[in-house]
Structure 1
């Protein structure tokens, strides 16, 4: 170890001599100033020097004192430390490990330096705090640490000549070894010796389940000594008679009465208990304790569900562990009355109910109460009268239904979202019919006007606004998971790269875009256009949050892609995300975050925290619908003031990338140069305004159009005419829908080409339409799109001869 060079300082004798001379000179000057005589001042100075010289001579003749620090023999210290079974380590003021015994190396392989030890949970933080306390007060302690599966306690002591060392002592918890030793004894030959002496013994955990038992207890409880009762509820093996005598449930009321003895051999909330059963005489006193009340209290303590006893004055007599956990009771300061557990509004009702049952009511009642710890979630409190139990007069039962409440909320939310989704899909369908008519009439009017006319710009504005409304309906369909998707096998980084340039323009100059991609990302199957919309929606929301929180200083928007394995999902311990391999898209920002009361509502449709006119409330609901329709999962995590993070998990597509099938929609990738054609088209549409637009549009393209208002009319018209070249039909119509009508038409004309048009999603219709050789045109559509779809279907069916080219 390096040693610093000593600094040149004056010795105490030199310091005393200098002080004496200086003091004498100062005194001589003062005497001359007062008396005015130099001889008198010189004599005073001589006397001072003589006295100072005597002091210095005395210090020189006194024994020298050692001032150097005594060196430590660390080899000797290690030998002494090895005589202890405890793990011991010594660190210096700089936090360096200077000594450790063999027990320390065995407990912590590699001899790491405390407090940075391999401890589970919050062990490192607790050990660090103990070290700080030791430096300050001389002694620090950290209990219940878990090191490599071993429970230990740490004692930290400040030591050394200059108190510049810390001694870390780690003691293996005796309780853990003792509990395991007792379980081994009970389940082994020693347990058989207990049985030979008439003692049935078991080790029961804090949950009331048997950890180990001797064979005689298993034989009495189950009928066979070879059967194991480990893991079973101990209280279920016992019953009581009218006198409070305890018996085995298998033996019934004719069995021998038992005396139960509890031995809490280990301290702690989660410590097990040794339970012994001994046969009693029939005329003996109640089995457990001196009264039936004590017997009931013991059974209550063993129950795995929450129970409590209350006396006639409404005070608690006993609460078992399950009751305290469900009620959130602090064992160090238990409540006095049941009303202390609930909110103020429920105190009176609970007190009245307990008073009524304590006064003689025999039935039981369930009450919905709200606990102080979580007032937003009502819990069920069961109250029953208890007679013949001594001081106890009321029995309370409290069920820990937090998980059940969470599931109920999720089911209610899912039901509400499904209902709103169905409504949104219906509204979008009707709205698409209206938009089809508006856009179609605009197209027809624009055919009669040229750019520069006075009405042309107005018509173009109407058409533009109609297209914006059509985008809104697509958002509704996305939320209700009824939109038309074109899934492809793709890589998420490619999608992010495609949209990055757009995001940089959207973010502006104050928001920095940070994109990073993980390795070994698996492919996913999704619609790239819809995924781009997901990224844009999340990015715009993040930008608004950053600007709102930070103003001109801006912030950072981070987009990451990561590979999530099945092991990672298991480590998450999520109740929602199924175990599997995923590719994750994570979008986070440095904005203001999402308040806790708003976070559960962000995916609901039309819910927005933006100012009026600055948000429709469909952005995140659209994101949610796209992700779910793509088979993925999305989670939002946020803390106020720390930004928000949206994590999207898309399952990895394991199948090889297949060639993309030809889309059902008849929109060709390249538009034909000439859309004119000839032939007969049977048009079936129940909406008069859509039917009128489609009829006029097809007639202008050269087709002969026969229009019908519903399926029955189309069948009657078809029976009185020659075979048409094409059947164009709406899907959803009253009395007879489009698919039913097409099935009947195909019986007569099996090869008749069919073009379906609908405001619903193509995938949704495909699942309900089992008809081959049909094309699909989604609403709203323009006149040109209708012409393109018509010609494409006719060419695909080989009837191009009837369409002039």
Structure 2
């Protein structure tokens, strides 16, 4: 048939060639070519016949073998619900390759699987959460798939999670329980209500007489008995039974209804102590040797034995030994101690701690540990005292240090923001004073605003002082000179009823400190001493200021763990006031702690003193006795002058007329108000000022190619701080001088701003101080 079609097509095409070309030879040649091509195609088909098509045939064994690499049971069913493929794990979990959803999992689970299959045919996927199969929980996923979406893929994976109670029940009541029984171990799962939830066959045999006896739901304690010696036996076996040793394993400590797994093991070597002999003598001897505070009590809660460590920890001293544990504690804790002893003596095997306050030390709590005792004759309870006074002290110290750090950080942040505001106020006052002269109507008002701003600045310095974040300007000085400078002020502060006495020692070495801050320390101590003396019955007294040297040998004899051995110059401030109570002495340097009446003290005086002294590298200690006065001793380390420092030339303070200059200053400040007043101040003194609001913008200004003679920058700025920006600027301009300004202390920022040719200007500053700092770094050409 195909040959006839080929010949017909050849004749038709040859006729067309003859009609088009009018050449018989061309038509004959075309017909011969067509017939030859048809013959070649026929010969090729005979040599290479086409393979029969087998569309729709799938090698399911190959697919099942590929699925074995997954740790998931997989099965595939078709539209008719027939199982067409499954991996071996599916056959293990569902014996004999059952067809889902008709799996051996129970009717309720089959209904859930059927619903998941319907959801997969309808929506493309279905799920079943926690399908129970024997002891495992499965997560089931059903997905519609295939070229025609006419198959379902079933995936069964183990659910995440582990039910330890269910596993324990299976272990006890199943084959695991039989294995334990063959090893002579009885296993029982007991609920919090004391009733048995599961038990192995050997326990049922010995406790109830038959291995198949239903012991679930029965009281576990009723199946046991304890003799006077504390030996535990099965009640069915009686007094002649084999003693037992119980091992308790709580399964879930955090669950309120968690059962306990109990193993019972025969113990032929159980201790037997004469019930009338009390606690064994050898046990008492052992407890007496131990350094722990231990005691034994009977079922009625009476003490049978107390070792020396227990008596010492309880603070009994030379008094007669207590009869009951409740005799050791304050009245509020007696009921709790008696109830705990009674509960543990009644058969509770666990141990526990309760916090109590002893009568000897009612201000501190101690831990009283109580545990039920067995096999110790009359002794039914073991008690232990833990003296946690040192632990409580350490906790208080850590809490205090944390509080101090938090308060210091808060004070530093508040002072920093407040200093920015004060810088703007003081700067604008200075700018207005340039336009007003004495006698103008506004001059006095501006001066008053500036004076109040300076008072506010001193308050921020006080906030920073007790948090040790203030900026100090230390100088080498003699301590007697500072005392002499402030003595006239002290006489006015103390009044006529208090006598001021000053004694100076000889050969006092110089110290390095901020004289203004030292004066504040002395004034604060004097004011506190005045209040303490005026609170006494006489309403007056004597305040003594004494300076004296402290050699290395003297400091070593002080035997102080806080202050290192070295040479110091000391200042002792002594009053004859009412003194400080012992319980308050450890808290006097805490911020906001005060014993004064409301409205008469802020609690910042001594904390400020402490902050200044510690920031100056010194130490301060308080000594007091109620009714006899208080002494504060301040130790400042001796300063040894560096020869280079001694030969350094003293730079004279620039006069107002010398503050004018020239050059370009790059001013970087994120606070708009501070940047505005600094720009106006520098411009008025002859400088060209280029401003930037942050470090990135400042680097962009430098990249534009401008020539800068001085870089003035805030230290703390968002995204990029001043020191980081300055280091990148120095990489391009190595000789660029730097002036940092900040409301934080220079010492606090010293590590980050430790650069050469750098000065620091603390906020708040005046226009004159800013001009002096700029003039110092930009020398006249």
Please indicate, yes or no, whether the TM-score normalized by the shorter chain is above 0.5.
yes
Quick one: structure 1 residues 610 and 295, their matched pair in 2 at CA, closer, same or farther if it must change by over 3 Å? closer
- Is this contact kept in 2: 1:449–1:455, CA < 8 A? yes
The more displaced of 494-503 and 767-776 is: 494-503
1-side partners of 2:364 and 2:702: how far apart?
63
1:782 paired with 2:766, answer yes
Which residue, out of 609, 614, 629, partners 1:643?
Answer: 629
1:631 paired with 2:631, answer no
- Is this contact kept in 1: 2:667–2:679, CA < 8 A? yes
Task: Report what 1:175 is aligned to.
Answer: none
Task: Report what 1:504 is aligned to.
Answer: 491
Aligned pairs, how many? 515
Following superposition, the deviation at residue 489 of structure 1 comes to 4.8
- Is this contact kept in 1: 2:654–2:772, CA < 8 A? no
Task: Report what 1:738 is aligned to.
Answer: 722
Quick one: structure 1 residues 525 and 759, their matched pair in 2 at CA, closer, same or farther if it must change by over 3 Å? same
Task: Report what 1:473 is aligned to.
Answer: 460
Task: Report what 2:309 is aligned to.
Answer: 322
1:350 paired with 2:337, answer yes
Taking structure 2 as the reference length, the TM-score comes to 0.61
1-side partners of 2:527 and 2:646: how far apart?
32
Quick one: structure 1 residues 539 and 379, their matched pair in 2 at CA, closer, same or farther if it must change by over 3 Å? same
2-side partners of 1:385 and 1:608: how far apart?
48
Task: Report what 1:752 is aligned to.
Answer: 736
Task: Report what 2:605 is aligned to.
Answer: 619
Quick one: structure 1 residues 579 and 387, their matched pair in 2 at CA, closer, same or farther if it must change by over 3 Å? farther
2-side partners of 1:473 and 1:668: how far apart?
29
Following superposition, the deviation at residue 742 of structure 1 comes to 0.7
1:683 paired with 2:673, answer no
1-side partners of 2:509 and 2:768: how far apart?
40
Per-residue CA deviations over 1:343-393 (Å, capped at 9, x if unaligned) read 222212111111111111112111221112222221111111111111211
Indicate the SS of the match to 1:427. helix
Task: Report what 1:306 is aligned to.
Answer: 293
Taking structure 1 as the reference length, the TM-score comes to 0.60
Which residue, out of 398, 417, 425, partners 2:404?
Answer: 417
Indicate the SS of the match to 1:673. helix
Task: Report what 1:405 is aligned to.
Answer: 392
The more displaced of 573-582 and 370-379 is: 573-582
Following superposition, the deviation at residue 488 of structure 1 comes to 4.3
Q: How does 1:131-530 map to 2 (within 5 A)?
A: 293-518=280-505, 521=508, 523-530=510-517
2-side partners of 1:688 and 1:636: how far apart?
46
2-side partners of 1:324 and 1:572: how far apart?
34
1-side partners of 2:735 and 2:557: how far apart?
56
1-side partners of 2:401 and 2:774: how far apart?
40
Quick one: structure 1 residues 549 and 616, their matched pair in 2 at CA, closer, same or farther if it must change by over 3 Å? same
Per-residue CA deviations over 1:622-656 (Å, capped at 9, x if unaligned) read 10001111222222233343322212233445676
Let me know the Cα RMSD of the aligned residues: 3.2
Whichever of the two has the greater Rg, that structure is 2
2-side partners of 1:653 and 1:323: how far apart?
53
Quick one: structure 1 residues 620 and 671, their matched pair in 2 at CA, closer, same or farther if it must change by over 3 Å? farther
Per-residue CA deviations over 1:30-68 (Å, capped at 9, x if unaligned) read xxxxxxxxxxxxxxxxxxxxxxxxxxxxxxxxxxxxxxx
1:701 paired with 2:685, answer yes
Structure 1: unaligned runs, 5 residues or longer: 1-241, 245-281
Task: Report what 2:699 is aligned to.
Answer: 715
Structure 2: unaligned runs, 5 residues or longer: 1-228, 232-268
Per-residue CA deviations over 1:316-355 (Å, capped at 9, x if unaligned) read 1121111111111134322211111112222121111111
Quick one: structure 1 residues 363 and 518, their matched pair in 2 at CA, closer, same or farther if it must change by over 3 Å? farther
Following superposition, the deviation at residue 302 of structure 1 comes to 1.0
Quick one: structure 1 residues 593 and 731, their matched pair in 2 at CA, closer, same or farther if it must change by over 3 Å? same
Quick one: structure 1 residues 608 and 521, their matched pair in 2 at CA, closer, same or farther if it must change by over 3 Å? same
1:763 paired with 2:763, answer no
1-side partners of 2:644 and 2:496: how far apart?
42
The more displaced of 508-517 and 564-573 is: 564-573
Task: Report what 1:772 is aligned to.
Answer: 756
Quick one: structure 1 residues 581 and 383, their matched pair in 2 at CA, closer, same or farther if it must change by over 3 Å? farther
Task: Report what 2:541 is aligned to.
Answer: 555
Per-residue CA deviations over 1:722-746 (Å, capped at 9, x if unaligned) read 2111111101000111111111111
1-side partners of 2:647 and 2:273: how far apart?
80
- Is this contact kept in 1: 2:373–2:380, CA < 8 A? yes
- Is this contact kept in 2: 1:676–1:702, CA < 8 A? yes
Following superposition, the deviation at residue 499 of structure 1 comes to 2.7
Following superposition, the deviation at residue 295 of structure 1 comes to 1.5
